[in-house]
Amino acid sequence: MARIDGRKYNDLRPLTLTPGCSLYAEGSCLIEQGNTRVFCTASVEEGVPFHKKGSGEGWVTAEYSMLPRANRTRSQRDISRLKLAGRSAEIQRLIGRALRSVIDLRALGELTITVDCDVLQADGGTRCASITGGFIALALAGKFLRDGKYLKKNPVIDYVAALSTGIIPLDGRDSPILDMCYEEDSSALADFNLVMTGAGSFVEVQGTGEGRPYTADEFSNVLRVTTPALQTIIGRQKEIVTL
């Protein structure tokens, strides 16, 4: 028995990366991963946050938000509740850490790059798509800074992409499945987000037992099957932007 949309356990959803989706941002990319769509822009501003003042280093930060009707039902805007959704806070911290892991902050100098990831449509995997697409926006902003002679080199020093993998009952046993859509995600026994660099190392791995705890072996298995898929995705990034 196959997955809900007929994919095999390690099939990825169709992936489209559209760089330059914004006329004004220094770097931008619309990422479409199945029905998930995230509008990513990278904005360069002078100056750095307080904790970096005078360090000679720059900063990269991320903001993540969903349009109110990105989901099957409408959600209130953060500003209507006067609170940033806890889930968004958690996700944008993850995106920020992932993107900073491939930046040479010293080469950036005292500039701040803010990567905005606004989810237009959410069908699972939005945090991973935000990292994969946000990276393109960031790398294009780095290229913009180098090509415009603002910086001597692109401060982005490696690729980084992310993918969600779940464990669900498939063909009679609990199996990892890659790149879950929303419906799969809702019923997964465990849910993993892996963030990998072009060099093949991890900068962030998160695994949550939703339906039940998972074993160290299951965890290793998830890493093993997800790694080649992440390499494929990074391959797609390389087609869009050369560092």
Give me the least distance between CB of 125 and a copy of itself, in Å please.
Answer: 15
Nearer residue to a copy of itself within complex by CB, 152 or 169: 169
* Residues in contact with a copy of itself by the rule CB under 8 A: 22-25, 28, 35, 39, 41, 43, 45, 63, 65, 67-74, 77-79, 82-84, 86-87, 89-90, 92-93, 97, 101, 114, 116, 118, 120-121, 123, 196-197, 199-209, 212-216, 219-220, 223-224, 227
Residue 99 φ/ψ, nearest 5 degrees: -70, -35
Give me the least distance between CB of 163 and a copy of itself, in Å please.
Answer: 14
In order of 1, 2, 168, 169, 175, the CA distances from 172 in angstroms are 9, 11, 10, 6, 9
User: With left for phi above 0 and alpha for psi between -120 and 50, is residue 170 left, alpha or beta?
Assistant: beta
Nearer residue to a copy of itself within complex by CB, 152 or 238: 238
Query: How many Cβ atoms sit within 10 Å of the Cβ of residue 178?
Result: 25
Strand partners, 63: 116
Contact 144, 151 (CB under 8 A): no
| Reduced 3-state DSSP string for 68-90 | CCCCCCCCCCHHHHCCCCHHHHH
Nearer residue to a copy of itself within complex by CB, 69 or 106: 69
Give me the least distance between CB of 208 and a copy of itself, in Å please.
Answer: 5
Give me the least distance between CB of 27 and a copy of itself, in Å please.
Answer: 10
Nearer residue to a copy of itself within complex by CB, 64 or 241: 64
Contact 178, 163 (CB under 8 A): yes
Give me the least distance between CB of 60 and a copy of itself, in Å please.
Answer: 14
Nearer residue to a copy of itself within complex by CB, 59 or 214: 214
